Structure 1
Amino acid sequence: MASELMIVGIDDSTESMYALEWTLDKFFVPYSSNHPFKLIIVHAKPSPASAIGFGGPGAIDVLPIVEADLKKIAGRVSEKAKEICNSKLVNDVIIEVVEGDSRNVLCEAVEKHQASILVVGNHGYGAIKRAVLGSVSDYCAHHAHCTVMIVKKPKIKH
């Protein structure tokens, strides 16, 4: 029986799916129910307002369309995560989709579930892009109240 809890944060990027696969390969033995961790996968779905910004008069008409699109993306991300887990023969997984900024959603999930480890992927942004866009992994490393493992996808050498 798993005594500790691990959260893997995912989005629709190849980097986060790589982090999930890497985690399953390293910590979850196929055909075994005696894993060292219980696994929760968390996807942060942006709110429609944050996805379109605070636009002009027509923005209110677009919100339902954006919300439907964000739900489709969240469904696709969740299905992809389930497929990866099933392919690695790990079936005892909880997948949560939570609306909000991914930085806050992941840190709040750590608190809510009292997780021991948070695993996130790394997009490999440079310093300028990271400063402008913000880095979820950097934020979580500084604010999550648990060990944070940042998984980097290896670069393909030519």
Structure 2
Amino acid sequence: MSGDRKVGVAVDYSSSSKYALKWALDNLADKGDHVVILHVHNNKGAETGQSQLWEKSGSPLIPLSELRQPNLVKQYDLTPDSETLDMLDTAARQKQIIVVAKIYWGDPREKLCDAVEDLQLDSLVMGSRGLGSLKRVFLGSVSNYVVTNAICPVTVVKEPGFKP
């Protein structure tokens, strides 16, 4: 079944999302698969041209090779770190996977579920922020919402040794 899956990974460049990305690349990605890096800008206040143009559908798919270009990074207000990009470059080369990124603007809970449907993802991987039960009640949990509402299997990866 290699080569016919689309695996989404929610990435915000935090340590927990980088761990989830590493887990997805090590355990799910296989030769010919598409790995879609999903980034959601939660700041609706920043009314840039891109956020207004692609507010509902998200950005066009961005090839991995373009994620290192300073103009593109600035255009989408991304801050990918070299560790994440190196991890993606290595996996793309060694596992022969296709890596693209897509940016959304809005509520991460809703936009991740939208991405699953829009991109017809076979699975979604995301990190856990490790909120305690009290904080989760007041702040809500993106992972709980996505697990409950996404139309594909969702894997929530918790960073080892992480304490809320």
What is the alpha-carbon distance in structure 2 between the residues aligned to residue 126 and residue 15 of structure 1? 15
SS across alignment from 1:76: coil
Structure 1 unmatched runs, 5+: 52-62
Q: Larger radius of gyration, structure 1 or 2?
A: 1
Distance 1:15 1:107 in 2: 19
- Structure richer in helix, relative to its length: 1
Shift of 1:73: 8.9
Letter in 2 for 1:121: G
TM-score, normalised via structure 1 length: 0.73
- The aligned counterpart of 1:44 is 40
Q: Is the 8 A contact 1:43 1:74 kept in 2?
A: no
Structure 2 match to 1:54: none
Do structure 1's residue 104 and structure 2's residue 107 form an aligned pair?
A: no
Match of 1:22 in 2: 23
Distance change >3 Å, CA 134–CA 17, structure 1 → 2: same
Aligned residues: 136
Q: Sort the Cα spacing of 1:134 and 1:88 in 2 relative to 1 into closer, same or farther, 3 A.
A: same
Pair 1:83 & 2:86 matched:
yes
Partner AA of 2:142 in structure 1? V
Consecutive unaligned residues in structure 2, runs of 5 or more: 52-73
After TM superposition, what 4+ stretches of structure 1 lie above 6 angstroms from structure 2? none
Aligned partners of 1:7 and 1:41 also within 8 Å: yes
Looking at structure 2, the residues matched to 78 and 106 of structure 1 have their Cα atoms a distance apart, in angstroms, of 21
- Which residue number corresponds to residue 153 of structure 2? 147
In structure 2, how many angstroms separate the alpha carbons of the residues matched to 1:156 and 1:150?
A: 14
Q: Does the 8 Å CA contact 2:116/2:150 hold for their aligned counterparts?
A: yes
Please tell me whether the aligned partners of residues 78 and 95 of structure 1 are also in contact (alpha carbons under 8 angstroms): no
2:35 touches 2:98 (CA, 8 Å); kept in 1? yes
- 1:74·1:97 contact (CA, 8 Å) conserved in 2? no
Aligned counterpart for 2:129 among listed residues 103, 119, 123: 123
Question: Aligned AA for 2:155?
Answer: M
C-alpha distance after superposition, 1:12-61 (max 9, x if no partner)? 311011100111111235xxxx24x3210100012342x8xxxxxxxxxx
Identity %: 33
Q: TM-score, normalised by structure 2?
A: 0.71
Taking a change above 3 Å as real, the CA distance of residues 73 and 128 of structure 1, as seen in their structure-2 partners, is: farther
Q: Distance in 2 between matches of 1:75 and 1:43?
A: 9
Residue 4 of structure 1 deviates from its aligned partner by 1.9
